Amino acid sequence: MVYNEKNDMENTENFAEQDEKKTVMYTVDTGSSEHRYTSVSPTKNKRYDDDDFWNLGEVRRKVYHKPTFADTAVENTIVTHDISTEAPVKREKIPSPPEKVPGEPFRYQRTADNTSPHGSRQIPTSRYSSSRPAAVTVQNRQNEALRNMKTVKEYDCSGLLIRHVEIKPWAASIPFYGRFAAEAALFHEKEGAPCEAVEFFAYVPQYSKMNDKQQQFYLYVRDSIRQGTYIRADLSYILLYIYEIINLPNLIPPEKGASLLADIWLHYREWYPRIDVFLSEWLSNYCLIHQVPLPSALTPILPQIVKKAQFKEFYLDVFSDGDMPSLAEALMEFSSDYDYRRSRYYKGHEKDYEEKLPAAVSEALTAAYREKRGIFAFEKKYRLTIDAYCGAVVPAEIKRRIDVEFYSFTRPIETRKIVTELVKYAENKLRLALKIKAKLAVNDISSADCNVIDRFFAPMIPEKAPSKAASAAAAEAEYLKLYEADSSGFDFTAAEQIEQSSWDNTNMLTAAEEDRAAEKDTQSEIPVPPASLSDSHSTVEKEDTSSENTAEKEGLLAAMDGTFRKYCRDNGFFDSDMASKINEIFLDILGDIVLEESDGEYKLIEDYREDVLEWLN
């Protein structure tokens, strides 16, 4: 934009003397023509330093001019032809887009390796169908590889639970931990010497992560374990030796390796409880792969092991040899909803609980096993695939896939219920042997199991004292026996003697009666002496004694009928006070309460019904 001003001022004084209307020309260069605009300056005889120099004056009001019809009217259009009579225009048909194929908006395209997911990536593609066939996913390839794998080992088992085992190689195309296996073979031949303990920690312990001092101490710890001496060492050292045993089945015989793993487990589990989680899986995998039995040294801790193991049937299969007490203890540990150690009567009777309860449950399980009933029915066979040595530093050549066919009495839902009821019923019998009248509620238990447990506790349970009514009936029967006639047979001679003696007595009595009839009756009336105060006092006391606890007895009868609240309301008692009085009476008698509140009503505990009836009578 170019600015040109006519009548240019030479100085500021000349600017103040300009006319009221000053014309300023603005030239706008638009490239094609010039446009000139004129504006009127509002200043009049003003200097630039005046106060109102910059006053632009009043704002002009905009006036709206209403448009006229002549300005907006549409001019008449000359019609040359009628469009409605023309034929419609024919257009070419546009082809429709191809039909969409439902599916994923991505396809799997391999850019490197054909078997490993590490060499693959996903690229976006269209949903429209393509002539190229879909790529096979990694999982499908792995499944196909597993189906085509040759079995490494296959054998049948003669145990109670495990029936068939099939060992297959691990499906992996990428080698891992191969260097560790080679280093384990080198370290296996090295010998250690006593040295100072050195700390060592690693999330994945390996030989390459240790310095010289740590390697020396590791060799010392390993040699000590081989000689049967278990010194204190960090968990990483222990795990490293476990990895070495697993990785060297060719250098360490499997029987010896299983024994070493069991010894490590037994001696280091108190220092490092996490070993239970690791070895409960790794040792079972090791024994199944190499077809060696579970070391017998682990039998004392089997109940604790089974609780933490994933494949519990491997450890429970040991009990097929007839070790039912250990099996009962294991089932009571992890397959029972009731923990007898939390019983309020456990304290003070720990020895009886720990010895007799597992023995009683063991007797019931032994009988069920012989008769093939209950949890030993084995109606279903299970099949499980195990990835061996999960979490351990083991190369693909050592890892295996284990297919196991087995029976199980821990996986069915009914097992937990059956074991829980067995424990409760056995504790009720133990309480009875300990003269504890409180009982646990047992909902559902077979009569066969009840009979076995009853026979087990029969010598320990004292004979129940007969009730008062039974004692009175027995005493009356003994008394009547004294007056029973002797049954020695019929004797005619004795009968004649008895008859003759009877007639002699009759004659004597008849003669005496005739003599007394002749005499005059001189009997006089005998006055009845008045009752003394002492006699009346004793009578009142007797009546008071007989009416003692009458309200409590009536309330107890009402509780047995389910109308305890109504009885208390009709007789002006608070139901809670009356229940407390009744329970206090039986706390002195039985050592336990007999009324408990349930669903807004005080009800009788059914276990004490016989005792309550005896007290009422």
Task: Please spell the DSSP secondary structure of 176-215, one letter per residue.
Answer: -SHHHHHHHHHHHT-------------SS--GGG--HHHH
For residues 150 and 169, what is the distance between their CA atoms, to the nearest angstrom? Answer: 8
CB atoms within 10 A of CB 524: 5
For residues 322 and 597, what is the distance between their CA atoms, to the nearest angstrom? Answer: 47
The tally of CA atoms less than 13 A away on the side-chain side of residue 509 is 6
Each residue's pLDDT tens digit, 191-243 = 889 999 999 999 999 999 999 999 999 999 999 999 999 999 999 999 999 99
The answer to whether residues 168 and 403 touch, using CB atoms and an 8 Å cutoff, is yes
How far lies 277's CA from each of 156, 273, 292, 296, 588, in Å? Answer: 27, 8, 21, 19, 51
The answer to whether residues 416 and 408 touch, using CB atoms and an 8 Å cutoff, is no
How far lies 560's CA from each of 247, 415, 441, 573, 613, in Å? Answer: 71, 36, 18, 17, 10
Q: What are 247's two structure tokens?
A: 């990785």
Q: Measured between alpha carbons, how far apart are the two ends of the chain, in Å?
A: 127
For residues 151 and 165, what is the distance between their CA atoms, to the nearest angstrom? Answer: 11
Share above pLDDT 70 across residues of the chain, in percent, rounded to a whole number? 70
Q: Is the pLDDT of residue 47 over 60?
A: no
Q: What are 21's two structure tokens?
A: 């209307």
**Domains of the chain in sequence order:** 1-56 (no CATH), 153-457 (no CATH), 549-616 (1.10.10)
The answer to whether residues 129 and 113 touch, using CB atoms and an 8 Å cutoff, is no
Looking up tokens 């009175």, which residue turns up? 472
Q: What are 498's two structure tokens?
A: 């008895």
Q: Is the pLDDT of residue 44 over 60?
A: no
Q: Grade residue 609 by pLDDT with cuts at 50, 70 and 90.
A: confident
Mean pLDDT of 298-303: 86
For residues 292 and 113, what is the distance between their CA atoms, to the nearest angstrom? Answer: 39
The answer to whether residues 309 and 316 touch, using CB atoms and an 8 Å cutoff, is no
Q: What are 334's two structure tokens?
A: 């992890």
Q: For the chain, what is the total number of helices (H) and then of strands (E)?
A: 21, 11
- From 145-159, 304-318, 461-475, 545-559, the region with the lowest mean pLDDT: 461-475
Task: Please spell the DSSP secondary structure of 573-606, one letter per residue.
Answer: --HHHHHHHHHHHHHHHTSS-SEEEETTEEEE-G
How high is the pLDDT of residue 185? Answer: 92
For residues 295 and 305, what is the distance between their CA atoms, to the nearest angstrom? Answer: 13
Share above pLDDT 90 across residues of the chain, in percent, rounded to a whole number? 30
Q: Grade residue 327 by pLDDT with cuts at 50, 70 and 90.
A: confident
- From 45-59, 287-301, 360-374, the region with the lowest mean pLDDT: 45-59
Q: What are phi and psi of 109, to 5 degrees?
A: -115, 125
pTM of the model: 0.54
